[in-house]
Amino acid sequence: MTPLPPSEHALPPGAGDPLRTFGGMFRDAALETAFEQDRAPESVRHARGLLGAAVLINLLFLISDWRFHGTPHFWLALSARLVVVAWAATALLLVTRLRSAAVLHRVLVAWMIGNALPVGLLVTSGSEIALVIAFLLPAIYYLCVPVRFGWTLGCGVFASAAMLAGLASSDLPRGNGIGILLAMMMANVALALTVTRANRMSRTAWLAARTESGLRAALDRSRAQLQRLFDACPVPLILTDRASGSLIRMSDSCAALIGSAPSSALAGPGPADPAAERLARTLGADAGATDYEVQLATADRGDRTLLVHAAALEVDGRDVVLAGLVDITRRKAEQTSLERLASTDALTGLRNRLSFFAAARAEMLRATRTRQPLALLMVDLDHFKAINDSRGHSAGDAALRAFGALCTRTLDPGAVIGRLGGEEFGVLLRSESSDAAAGAESLRAATAALRIGLAQGPPLALTVSIGIAAVSPNDRDIDAALARADLALYAAKHGGRNRVVAEQADAARMARTG
């Protein structure tokens, strides 16, 4: 529905009833024309259905009329019925090709007048069905034909007159004529009042909807003006409701910052951008804070880190949060990268010694709370110095990288893996020593089967020795378990390397060789 300008849809105070008392149409011709144009598509569909039904029903009557073949009234009824069908079909054909309300009115008025005359001839039979049709046709004109009230009233009265004339020519008892006339007059008055009420209701609803549409358009213009002022600020801004955390408004620069579509800059009907809504809820929850960081996942710009400068205030009795945003994603990424470099072994990509011990201590604290068993593996690459001496340090580096990748693939995803120095590695597993022994054996076997291609010479083969120690709840630090695992590792090396030895009194019996 296209909103009218305020001068056309808004009535001034004290303007009185905009609708006529009789007929229910707008007093203002421009309003009536606008109403008809707005309803034109619906009126056309309605007229098509009405005329189509008229054609179909009269064709059925035409077939039924053959029962009276041979009676004096047959040929007159047949001719009149053919005219009714042809006239309705012609009107239907015209209606299917037009969209204008004015032309629709002319076609329907012509149909009503042209239809009433042959139907008047049909009711000259004076039968009971003729009497029903005499009252039914004016009712159809009043209630079913979408034309202006003046034409509705005129055609309804004309149809009633045609019906009365036809009945007067019939064989009805003369005493019934006055009664039928009075009944017809009463029916016309009742139908006119019914149409008046329906017209008033439909136009009142239309005017209310059009007025609301116009007011919404004015509100949208006001919002657009506010948005232009809001966007003039070079700092991305967002305004949220403090109580519900819902988005009220955000600037275009804010939309560009978090990757939202510009159409979400003014909150309105329909779903808002998910990233904007998440940010709005975060601001509402942290309304008491002024300067803080938030993490935001966006659809097209990935995860962003925003520095928020927020202030809680009241606007028109509503508690809101106004926030300015600064994108510090790159700075945080650089900081994270530095932290990763400080905690990661550059050659293998595993944790370095410092990071491994920190993660192991944290895992021990968690295991103490959850009573989760832990086992520690000490892993040493066998004959690593010989690899460096015989194949070069580049081969040693390749061996370390390949073994680090193998650990990541082979061991449990929850394992804490680190390079402790040189060719020594530490692994902390969330399992009993017996289960850890199975995992360690899998790692040992996978290492023995590994072949590392080098730029020169044959592929490089590796073996490892592994010592296992259970982490006891009495261990105050990982160093105690590390010392026990180191003893088991020494036993594995002393026993011939390429084997797994668990921390036990009889370590030799638990050794596993490839």
> What are the residues facing 368 on neighbouring strands?
none
All domains of the chain, ordered by start, with CATH? Answer: 6-211 (no CATH), 233-329 (3.30.450.20), 344-513 (3.30.70.270)
Confidence band, pLDDT 50/70/90 cuts, at residue 468: very high
**CA 258 centroid distance within chain:** 19
139-197 confidence digits (pLDDT tens): 998 899 998 989 999 999 999 998 888 888 876 666 677 888 888 899 999 999 999 99
pLDDT of residue 293: 77
- Determine the angle formed by the axes of helices 329-343 and 353-370, rounding to 10 degrees: 90
Q: Mean pLDDT over residues 459-479, rounded?
A: 91
Cα-based angle 463, 381, 476 (whole degrees, multiple of 5): 125
* Lowest-confidence region among 69-73, 413-417, 451-455: 69-73
Residue carrying structure tokens 């007025």: 211
Using the 8-state DSSP alphabet, how is residue 430 labeled?
Answer: S
The answer, yes or no, to whether residue 36 has pLDDT greater than 90, is no
- Residue in 423, 424, 441, 503 annotated catalytic: 423
328-342 confidence digits (pLDDT tens): 878 877 887 787 778
Confidence band, pLDDT 50/70/90 cuts, at residue 296: confident
pLDDT of residue 269: 34
> Residue 498 in contact with residue 512, Cβ under 8 Å?
no
> Residue 264 in contact with residue 272, Cβ under 8 Å?
yes
* Lowest-confidence region among 74-78, 214-218, 449-453: 74-78
The answer, yes or no, to whether residue 6 has pLDDT greater than 60, is no
The residues, ordered by sequence, that sit 6+ positions from 176 with a Cβ below 8 Å of its Cβ are: none
pLDDT of residue 309: 80
Percent of the chain with pLDDT over 90: 33
Helix, strand or coil, per DSSP, at residue 48: helix
265-294 confidence digits (pLDDT tens): 333 333 445 666 666 666 655 555 567 777
Q: Mean pLDDT over residues 24-42, rounded?
A: 88
Q: Mean pLDDT over residues 446-462, rounded?
A: 91
Q: Is the pTM of this model over 0.75?
A: no
pLDDT of residue 278: 63
Q: Across the chain, what does the average pLDDT equal?
A: 82
Catalytic residue check, 423: yes
The answer, yes or no, to whether residue 98 has pLDDT greater than 60, is yes
340-381 confidence digits (pLDDT tens): 778 889 899 999 999 999 999 999 999 888 888 999 999 999
Percent of the chain with pLDDT over 70: 87
Cβ count within 10 A of residue 206 = 18
Reduce the secondary structure of 334-387 to three states and give it as a string. Answer: HHHHHHHHHHECCCCCCECHHHHHHHHHHHHHHHHHHCCCEEEEEEEECCHHHH
